[in-house]
């Protein structure tokens, strides 16, 4: 309930013991059929963080954080360990369903890890910018086929105390029995008012746009349209 994104960090470093605990907590997240279809690349070398930051939109906090975790959906491991047992059976490792399983597995593990980090007094921020130049990013990390970087996560000791961003009303996301269209739209309209006020205060009393306006701008932008070709080139979603 106290989560907020941290984009400024002190020089205090995350210890190897803390990192191991964070990853182990992530590993205890639910995983579909125990496939555990994800891997994590931990980057702490300043030069490597700088190179990755440049590919992810020059976000300074990637360089400033103690350790940058890249969460990857990983079907490569499953393909390799299963092939010896399959003989002449066809493999559906490249199916869209398995792509979804790996993506969800990585996201669930990452959120467990984020909560573990916050329980230690650390702060995190997710970085979707790893997908800006995803082919180059994957090359930097030497990712094989059937592995793709889903998002990054900066981890470190916070050097700021940002406010907690308000979320949609519970009625906007919780439906009973069936999806309630009227309820979800009413909740979104109410959220527009709350969000506008939050942004006005945050910006020092400057005029602020509503949440729905931000979302319309986002949907009007052709963002990362290279993803489908990249993923299929990496061996995902072939069927």
The architecture in CATH of the region 16-164+222-233 reads 3-Layer(aba) Sandwich (3.40)
Domain ranges of the chain: 16-164+222-233, 170-208
- Position 64 pLDDT exceeds 90: yes
What global pTM score does this model have?
0.95
Segment 182-187 mean pLDDT: 97
Q: Supply the Cα-derived Rg of the chain in whole angstroms.
A: 20
φ/ψ bin of 205: left (φ > 0), alpha (ψ from -120 to 50), beta (otherwise)? left
Tracing tokens 């180059």 back to the chain, one arrives at 136
Q: How confident is the model at residue 186 (pLDDT cuts 50, 70, 90)?
A: very high
Tracing tokens 């470093």 back to the chain, one arrives at 13
* Tokens, residue 202: 């945050």
Return the pLDDT at 202: 86
Best CA proximity match to 138, nearest among 236, 234, 36:
234
Percent of the chain with pLDDT over 90: 95
- Position 238 pLDDT exceeds 90: yes
**pLDDT tens-digit series, residues 109-126:** 999 999 999 999 999 999
Question: Could you give the C-alpha distances from 90 to 82, 147, 158, in angstroms and in order?
Answer: 11, 20, 49
What CA–CA distance (Å, rounded) separates 68 from 155? 6
User: 80: how many CB neighbours lie within 10 A of its CB?
Assistant: 12
């Amino acid at each position: 309930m106290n989560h907020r994104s941290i984009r400024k960090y002190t020089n205090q470093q995350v210890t190897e013991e803390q990192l191991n605990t964070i990853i182990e907590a992530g590993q205890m997240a639910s995983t579909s059929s125990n496939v555990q279809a994800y891997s994590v690349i931990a980057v702490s070398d300043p030069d490597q963080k700088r190179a990755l930051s440049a590919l992810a939109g020059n976000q300074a906090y990637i360089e400033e954080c103690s350790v940058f975790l890249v969460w990857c959906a990983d079907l490569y491991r499953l393909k390799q360990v299963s092939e010896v047992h399959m003989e002449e059976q066809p493999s559906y490792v490249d199916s869209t369903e398995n792509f979804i399983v790996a993506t969800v597995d990585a996201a669930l593990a990452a959120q467990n890890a984020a909560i573990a980090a916050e329980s230690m007094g650390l702060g995190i921020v997710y970085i979707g910018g790893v997908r800006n130049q995803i082919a180059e990013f994957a090359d930097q990390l030497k990712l094989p086929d059937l592995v793709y970087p889903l998002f990054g996560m900066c981890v470190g000791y916070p050097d700021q105390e940002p406010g907690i961003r308000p979320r949609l009303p519970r009625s906007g996301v919780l439906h009973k029995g069936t999806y309630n269209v009227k309820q979800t739209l009413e909740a979104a309209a109410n959220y527009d008012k709350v969000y506008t006020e939050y942004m006005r205060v945050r910006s020092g009393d400057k005029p602020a746009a509503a949440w729905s306006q931000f979302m319309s701008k986002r949907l009007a932008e052709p963002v990362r349209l290279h993803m489908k070709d990249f993923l299929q080139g990496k061996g995902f979603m072939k069927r």
